[in-house]
Each structure stands twice: as structure tokens, then as C-alpha cells.
Structure 1
Amino acid sequence: MRIGIVTETYPPEINGVALTVQTMVHELLQLGHSVDLTRPRQLGESEIAPRAMLVERLLAGSRVPRYPELRFGWPATETLKQAWRSQGVAAVYVATEGPLGWSAVRAARAIGIPVLTGFHTRFDDFVGHYGARLLVPLAQVWLRRFHNAANATLVPTQSLKSELEQRGFKHVERLPRGVDSRLFNAGRRDEALRRAWGVAPDEQAVIHVGRLAPEKNLGLLVQACRRIQARGIRAKFIWVGDGPSRSALAEQNPDFIFAGIRRGEDLARHFASGDLFLFPSLTETFGNVTLEAMASGMPLVAFDYGAAHEHVVHRRTGLLAPFGEAEAFLALAEELACDRALRHRIATQVREAVSGLSQTAVATQLVRLFEQAMPTECAA
């Protein structure tokens, strides 16, 4: 099958949506499908020569306000209609709700091919975090109209499926996420990296991985670090990632270690070289880093929603705070840092909890959802 994928973010941009879509493309190609990938041209990027089973179409775009390292694509309905007809695209997946994403849904419907959308980002939450709370209801209407124009909206958790259905989203389907356990595993623990962080043998490395931005609830993470210190626990605090909040965080917390953006095996080393993982975000649709931390053998503290709700068993494979209860999160972070036996017990069980989350199985299920959306004669 030739599958069209449209996204307004893609590596080398680093965020959950970009990496999820890249994995989707890779796994579909591994399954023997052809992929027609459409995305905005990134700065300094030239045309990419088509490969045997992959065509990358680069279109015009602009920088996202407040996120200058990201871009959104301009509408391209006619371009997509012509390209998909000529390439024989059988079905389309749209990962982002920007102007290019909207035009992709229109184009697919106009030429009569199934189109599935992915609900990857809580834009309604983001609007509130960036000082425009009055626009939150409008953002919710915008998201609902976009996704309801597709044959189905794909979400990574059952709880998000239920929430969207209650908000008037139609044809919501769960498509789980996987994790690359060959890349992310406890065997990548690197003592040389720990020494570079200045972590002494009797110290802990407390890890956070994610975008450093206002919507990520990073103030609570700072409080958790300070609570751990206040208990007299010797620890270094490692922040992996970048974003608009980094400079202020670094200025206000000179003792924290900011490792910047890490990729691939380097990122896997950073995960595995910690002793516990703290994830305070309340705005995720899933939270891929949760699975990556678990696959790396990291005891973790997170709020009970998204990937953590789906895959963490409280006090067995991690610690879960009730959604939004900041004091509970702080208390659990302090407890995990203080209790070496608890950390060890979780570390011995957590990797097994995600061992069956195959990315290939996720891609196979995506293909089945495409087939279900096709007219009977086409699916046959």
C-alpha cells in the first residue's frame, strides 16, 4: 500500500510528534509499504531525492510563534490532490492540525481516499499556558472540527479516547505507542557520563527529559529537586532537552546540569545513567519519554494520566501522583529519592512492563485501521 503522511514537524526537529511520525515512517517501510511524506521545508534544507519506497515532499512554511525552532506548513490542497492521484496514494495519515494538515484532510476527502488524523498535541492547553486563556474554547472547537472531518482520529490511550468522545469527537480509535527496547535499555548505563556530571559514588542522578517550556510544569520539577536536597540527599539534577524556558531555569538554578538536546544512543545513555526519572508535565497526550525511561530501567514519578496511567503500576513499576496534585507529586519524588530499596525493586520490574510494546505491532495496527476505513472493494 502507498500511504500518504502529512506532518508539520519532523526530525531533525526534536519533539514527541516529530519522533513519533519518524518512527511510523520507518516501521511502515519495514513492513513493505510505500510512504509519501509531506512536510514543510526546514531552514537550509534542499530537495530530497526520492528513494525506492519513500518520497519526501517539502512545501512552504513559516516559523511557529513562540516556538521559533518549529515550522507550520501553508495550505496545499491542490498540490496534494495532484500528487496523491499521480502517486497512487491509497490512504493518508495527518499528524498535525496546522494549515497544511487542514488542507491535507480536505485534499484526501476531495479525491475519495481514507484519511486518519492523530491527536498528538493538546493545543487547547498550550494556548492557556501562553497567555491566551480566552482562546481555549475556540481552540477546542477548532480541534474538534479538524478531527471530525477525518474517517477516524487516532489517540494513544483509552482515557484520552473517552475524554475526546465526551467532548464531541467522532470515530476515535486507540492506536497504542511502542518503544525501541533495543535502543533504550539499562545496559547503556555509562559510569564515565556520570563522572562527567560530577556524580560521586554515593550520589544520585535525578533525570528529566523533555522540552523546557512553560506548558511542561517545570516549576514543580524545580520544587521536587529542592525537596530532595532539603532531605539531605546528595544528588545531581540532570535536565536533558531545550526550549524557551532553559535560559531562565539555568540562571535561577546554577547547580542544575543542563545537557541540551540528545539523540539516539546518546539520549539512551543519558536515560540509563540516571537513578530516578521525574516527569511533572500535565499537558501530554501521551508522553513518549515515560516509556523510554521505563525501558531504560528508570524508577519514575509521574502524574497518573497518559502513558503513565496506561503502563505504570503504582509502587510496582513507578510512582503515580493523582492528576494535578502537586503536593502528592513532591511527596512521591522525595520518597523515591530517600528509599533505595524501593528504587531497586522498581528498577528490577519496570523494563519487563514495556517489553511487549513493539513499534512494528503499532504500525501493523495502523495499516489495519487504514484498511477498515477503505471502501470494501478497495480493502479487498
Structure 2
Amino acid sequence: MSRFRVALFTGNYNHIRDGVSLTLNRLVKFLLQNGVEVLVFGPSIDEPALQHSGKLIVVPSRSLPGRPEYRVSTAFPKEAKKKLEEFNPDLIHIATPDILGYKALKWSINNQKPVVSSYHTHFASYLKYYKLSILEPLLWKYLGWFYSHCSQLYIPTPSMAEFLEEKGIDSELKIWARGIDNEVFNPSKRSDSWRAERGFGEDDIVVTFVSRLVWEKNLLIYADVLKKIRRKYSNVKALVVGDGPAGDELRKHFPEAVYTGFLTGDELATSYASSDIFFFPSDTETFGNVTLEAMASGLPCVVADAVGSKSLVEHNANGFLASVDKKEDFYTYIEKLVTDSELRENMAALSIEMAKNYSWENINENLLDYYKQVLEY
């Protein structure tokens, strides 16, 4: 078998720009460049946020209640199923265990096609934000059943593998990390003029948050800690990069911060490199792409002690880890960095070195090897 075909099922491919969609688009581009045929199935909108890689078969979907920017697939129609059968994939990769993912799994079982899956969204950690924690046991029961039918499950970090094993997920777990483009994200992008244009002085210490602005990223922890720090240290400035449904309310709660809105490419890279400390208290990440981008840009990182982030940040080395239940610890660590320039410089240097271990080419090459293992290629 000189070539093989992969059908990819996902809940997010082009309708919103986030870590999941960017990761999957990079993967598809890589696979196509390496002679693998790919057909993607997922939801979309009239004006998608991304110009996607490869061919996308759009399936019916509706907006998520309370979060209209997200889409939920509602069916796997006959037309899409016919295209799948005509494509005749050698391997099914399911990136989201939703309705579409469930139907793709059933199709795979009925047609004796090998299935792999990847864990992009830490679903259980979101339940508490929507006051649905009572559903967590049921969720894990479903995920356990779903992943038990997959030959391999790709997770981004060893800490996530340990967590899933504790939850009874007994699939073969393989590390599929996330990568970084060091030519885009690096300290050389620092710009004094960029800082000045946003009101930051030469001696100001800019503490930056980068993400979609949604409450489950623990925006209030960031805002409240920075408010307290700024009362004591007037040279500390807050920079928020990104936008989202919580943006307007956050601006009202924390008007002192500088808000750039959504940035991409060189402008995003400049915003990182022109900062001094990266502060990201989200505990819902499976990996933390923004943390890796901050590391590559030469920033010490203060992040949540949670799966994902703690596989990137080594406590007391390139940054600090704190429990989201202990807001005062975040304050303590930010204050240490604010008051000790040598500590900032040492942690920044280590962040740069640690980020060099994450190359997209090597990471996606590993995934291609995993595919070949399943196919005995």
C-alpha cells in the first residue's frame, strides 16, 4: 500500500479560529504534502474564520446555546455518508466524540474500518462553568465506551495521559503534542514602538493574557490578581490579547487593561515578545498552545497547575504553577517576577530553550507513524 486514505471527523475545522482548528488544519496540510489522501467532515458557516486545508464535507449543525460562535453537529446525512463510502478510507480519525463522531464510529464498526481519535477538548473541566458537574460520571462513562473502540487515542501531554488513565480510559494512549513556529514566535519580535503605541513605558512590566475571552479561561483570576498587583506596583500594566463573548463584560470589570482584540501572525508574535510576563490561569486546556507561544517568545509563565499547562511549565524553572483555588498564590508568583528582573531573565531564557523541543514537522511526523502502526503499513 503506497498511499492510504484518512477520513477526519471534527466538530471544528474552519468556522472558528482556535487551537483545535489550527492544529487539525496543520495536520491535514502535512498529510497531503506527504502523499496521504484526506477527506474532512465537520460543521461550517457562511463566512468561516479560516481558509481551510484540504476538502471539507459540511454536515448539518446548530449554534451552541449561550455560545453561538460554536457549532454542534446534528447529523451525518446520507449525502455525506455516500461521499465517505466513495472515498473508501483506510483509516477513520475522530477528533470530537459528538453526534457526528458517534455516527462516524458506528459506521467504522459496521464497515470494519480501523478508528483512531484525538483528545482536544477537556470536556469534564467545562461542566463546572455551566453548573453541570452532576453529569461528569455519565460523561466519563460515554468517553470510556467511545475510546475503547479506538485503536489509539492521541493526547497532547503526559499529564493528560495520566489523568485519562485515572478516569478509566484504557485505550492505547499516544503523545501527539502541539508545535510552534520559532521563526514566527521569538524574542526578536519585541518592539519598543509597539509598546509605546499602547501606552507602555520603557520601565513598565507588561503582564499579558492571550486567549479567546470566555469565562472558563478564568478571566476573573487574571483581572483580580492584576488589579491587586497594580495597586502596589504602578509600573505593572495589563495586556489582554484576544476577543470573545466575555470581552465586553471583562472590559467593564477591568477597564485599566489594554485590549488589542484578536491578533494573528506577526502582530500576535509582537504582542507576546513585547510583553514581560505571561499569566494564563485557565485550567481547561488539554495542551496550552498560547503558553508554548509565550515560551518561544521569551516570557516567564505563570499558569494554572492543571493538565496541559503543567507539562509545559516547570515550577520554579521557566515559570510558576498555581492552583486555581488559590488566587493568592498567583499574586505571590507574579509579585516575585515583578520585583526580580534577574529571575524574569533567567526564566525567560529557559522558556526559549524548552520551546525549541516543539517542532510541528516532527510532531506531525510522529502522528503519521502512529497511523502506519495501526494500518501495519
For residue 10 of structure 1, what is the aligned residue in structure 2?
13
Once structures 1 and 2 are overlaid, which stretch shifts more, 200-209 or 124-133? 124-133
Query: CA offsets, 1:235-259, max 9 Å, x none?
Result: 2211111222211111122111221
Runs of at least 5 residues in structure 1 that lack an aligned partner in the other structure: none
Is this contact kept in 2: 1:5–1:92, CA < 8 A?
yes
Cα distance in 2 for residues equivalent to 1:282 and 1:307: 8
- Asked if residue 119 in structure 1 is aligned to residue 122 in structure 2, the reply is no
Cα distance in 1 for residues equivalent to 2:194 and 2:285: 29
- TM-score of the aligned structures, taking structure 1 as reference length: 0.91
Cα distance in 2 for residues equivalent to 1:136 and 1:105: 22
Secondary structure at the counterpart of residue 92 of structure 2: strand
For residue 25 of structure 1, what is the aligned residue in structure 2?
28
CA offset at residue 102 of structure 1? 1.6
CA offset at residue 221 of structure 1? 0.8
Secondary structure at the counterpart of residue 229 of structure 2: helix
Query: CA offsets, 1:124-164, max 9 Å, x none?
Result: 22122112232232223233232223222211111211221
Provide the aligned length of Structure 1 versus Structure 2.
371
Secondary structure at the counterpart of residue 367 of structure 1: helix
For residue 226 of structure 2, what is the aligned residue in structure 1?
225
Runs of at least 5 residues in structure 2 that lack an aligned partner in the other structure: none
For residue 35 of structure 1, what is the aligned residue in structure 2?
38
For residue 259 of structure 1, what is the aligned residue in structure 2?
260
CA offset at residue 323 of structure 1? 6.5
Once structures 1 and 2 are overlaid, which stretch shifts more, 243-252 or 73-82? 73-82
Superposition map of 1:1-380 within 5 A:
1-11=4-14, 13-44=16-47, 54-76=54-76, 78-171=78-171, 172-322=173-323, 324-374=325-375, 379-380=376-377
Distance 1:313 1:71, change over 3 A: same
Cα distance in 2 for residues equivalent to 1:183 and 1:109: 42
Query: CA offsets, 1:92-133, max 9 Å, x none?
Result: 221112211222222222222221111111222212211223
Once structures 1 and 2 are overlaid, which stretch shifts more, 299-308 or 262-271? 299-308
Distance 1:309 1:133, change over 3 A: closer
Cα distance in 2 for residues equivalent to 1:262 and 1:312: 24
Residue identity opposite 2:7 in structure 1: G
Cα distance in 2 for residues equivalent to 1:185 and 1:121: 27
Query: CA offsets, 1:186-228, max 9 Å, x none?
Result: 1122222211210011212211011222211222111221232
- TM-score of the aligned structures, taking structure 2 as reference length: 0.91
Is this contact kept in 2: 1:159–1:306, CA < 8 A?
yes
Distance 1:11 1:330, change over 3 A: farther
Cα distance in 1 for residues equivalent to 2:127 and 2:317: 36
CA RMSD of aligned residues (A): 2.2
Cα distance in 1 for residues equivalent to 2:45 and 2:339: 45
